[in-house]
Structure 1
Amino acid sequence: MTPVGTEHELADRVLGGWLGRIAGNMLGKPVEQGDLWTRDRIDRYLRRAAALPLTDYLPEPPPGDDEGFELRPEWRQCVRGRIHGSCRDDDVDYAILGLDLLETHGFDFSTEQVGDLWLLRLPYLQTFTAERAAYRNLANGLKPPLTATYDNPHQEWIGALIRADIFGWTRPGLPHRAASLARRDAVLSHTGNGVYGAMWAAALVSAAFTAPTVRQALTEALTVIPASSRLARTVRRVISLHDTRLSWEDTLTTVSEETAGLGWIHTVPNAAVLTAGLLYGDGDFTRTITLTVRGGLDTDSNGATAGSVAGVLTGAEAIPAQWQDPLEDTVRSAVFGFDGVRISELADRTLRLVGSE
């Protein structure tokens, strides 16, 4: 007996996690620049394109744009009507790399083996912020945990969090075990709230397999990180504001003011946007990922994690066609040996790891 009932249900929800991560990432990719694409600017763009309420991938820029709505250069491959398979992105690359890690070294992998796999499989120029600092330190012969702390000003940024889903997918209903795996991976490049973010995200994905509601999954995920951490306090703050029936907009405005100064790639404010998207999305896949991306900051990373959690909660069969069909069951990836892999193959390989040691 699997933690979610039948083998078919487990397979559907693992596939839902992969599809959700990729679709959410694609949704947020064109506006991934949180210092420019604020929540207000994203909604102004959508209104200009007559795309609110948002129920599909972002529309391409409307003709005659004179407001300077400049999307990221990759937008032509990831807006509605132009998508043919997923775009390459680090938010998906790290999920693939994590799968390769578990297939190669098993669940007893070491942090050093994570680093070795980066050097073997991941091009240096496809790493960013804390990961690039850690990669450079690895290449210069440093070992963990020094790889995370030497000449690395990004130790609490969101990079480790985006690497965590695979540990939740392969440890369904076991959030503490998922968090332990994520921590071992995260300390290669992060410290403090950067590590806690990875643990929280892995636990959240894991809990989504068995929790009756997204609220319960969020509550379970908080048990794996220190209650006094700024990350835990911020997530609890979003939950409490939601409980008062404050609007999604007012909740994000309140928490944005309380986390001002941390920067748009820091783990803590992004966890707030993600938590709000999940709570106000209330288990609906489309509403969850669209609210999360409209929340701004690191839009593609937050969309990816929200999509993963929502996809696990609903299963692949319940993800609407407008999100699945354009992906054409195909992933572009910078991870050596994986470019063009089928999403369904990634899900099958992930499923085979569930229950293994």
Structure 2
Amino acid sequence: MTSTAPDSRPTEPPPTDPRLADRVHGGWLGRIAGNMLGKPVERGDYWTRDRIDRYLRLSDALPLTDYLPEPPTGATDFELRPEWRSCVRGRVDGSCRDDDVDYAILGLELLESHGFGFSTEEVGRLWLERLPYLQTFTAERAAYRNLTAGLSPPLTATYDNPYQDWIGALIRADIFGWTSPGDPRRAASLARRDAVLSHTGNGVYAAMWAAALIAAAFTAGSPRDALEAGLGVIPAGCRIARTVRRVMSLYEASLSWEDTLDTVADETAGLGWIHAVPNVAVLTVGLLYGGGDFTHTIALTVRGGLDTDSNGATAGSVAGVLCGASAIPAQWREPLRDRVRSAVFGYDGARISELAARTVRLMEG
């Protein structure tokens, strides 16, 4: 079955902000830097918020203003991911390979190859052509397996797939926001067409919300305004929307960062650390309490726990769009060496600046 969606052409021209290219570049850099920050502690069932902060205190790294420090000498009870040696401060030399970045690259290839009228089937074919099976996880791996078995969307998302409402579609949404500056509805429509290959329900709504949030960040006056715009593209009664509004209400009631996270953790308990809903909560908390400051935003988001590299990546993308690449502090930007590692065929070692320039050219075409 061929997936259909409303006409995704922009309803108005992209904003004429002369900083557009800088903001797109900021989104790419922010996504990669935020991903690298969270990668060493990605495993929410082990790296709880308490364990992350104990690690940082023991390393004398609070407040967190740079990539995570190396494990302190003699430290026990802190098992970092195997890739940590390439992701901690002083050792970062270009980005690590990660699916949170692979899907942004794959999305760029999708739009360049098929345009903004792409179909869900074309997303699936591109996965098979460009993305190794063993570099997919959870819902994406289930959908990939279903594609190789000859299934078509929407069965690729629903057959033998217990991960339909996890975070995977959300991490694929950035490219649709970056190419829809100031147009959250268009971004959400594009993200939905991609998401239904592997997700349903709140998994799809999370992707639509994230794409709209990033698109809105180009013209929003604050993270709060961008979050509000993101809510306008998903059903008001869905759990993603209710969770975002709940976090906003706690923030507006002047609860502390810690108390807000404790409250939403209790209210989303039992869903698991990769489920879209609790991760959207952590991401929303990081964006609100980060207040638009790049460092503060990605640091608070990663310290919030759960899927730390995915949440750090999306928070970094939003914050990077809000401030632009030129305003991202050097400690995040310079160690990346303008290079990205990727499992997407043909893209390993690509320049981040060139990926950003190609993203801008999509809008100009």
Q: Same fold (TM over 0.5)?
A: yes
Shift of the 174–355 alpha-carbon distance from structure 1 to 2, 3 Å rule, reads farther
1:145 aligned residue: 154
1:118 aligned residue: 127
2:98 aligned residue: 89
CA contact (8 A) 1:12 1:316 kept: yes
C-alpha distance in 1, partners of 2:235/2:17? 34
C-alpha distance in 2, partners of 1:222/1:306? 16
**C-alpha offsets along residues 35-80 of structure 1, whole Å, 9 cap, x if unaligned?**
0000000000000000000000000100111x32010000000000
1:199 aligned residue: 208
- Secondary structure of the structure 2 residue equivalent to 1:260: coil
1:48 aligned residue: 58
CA contact (8 A) 2:188 2:211 kept: yes
C-alpha distance in 2, partners of 1:149/1:3? 36
306, 309, 330: which one aligns with 1:300: 309
TM-score by length of 1: 0.98
Matched AA of 1:6 = D
Report whether the alignment pairs 1:260 with 2:269: yes
TM-score by length of 2: 0.96
Structure 1 residue 4 displacement after superposition = 4.6
327, 330, 339: which one aligns with 1:318: 327
Count of aligned positions: 354
Structure 1 residue 3 displacement after superposition = 4.5
- Secondary structure of the structure 2 residue equivalent to 1:354: helix
Structure 1 residue 5 displacement after superposition = 3.9
1:246 aligned residue: 255
1:21 aligned residue: 31
**C-alpha offsets along residues 162-195 of structure 1, whole Å, 9 cap, x if unaligned?**
0000000001000000000000000000000000
C-alpha distance in 1, partners of 2:183/2:17? 17
Report whether the alignment pairs 1:352 with 2:361: yes
2:233 aligned residue: 224
CA contact (8 A) 1:171 1:355 kept: no
C-alpha distance in 2, partners of 1:116/1:18? 25
C-alpha distance in 2, partners of 1:332/1:143? 30
CA contact (8 A) 2:14 2:180 kept: no
2:4 aligned residue: none
38, 54, 62: which one aligns with 2:72: 62
C-alpha distance in 2, partners of 1:64/1:252? 30
Matches within 5 A, 1:179-190: 179-190=188-199
C-alpha distance in 1, partners of 2:14/2:268? 37
2:184 aligned residue: 175
2:9 aligned residue: none
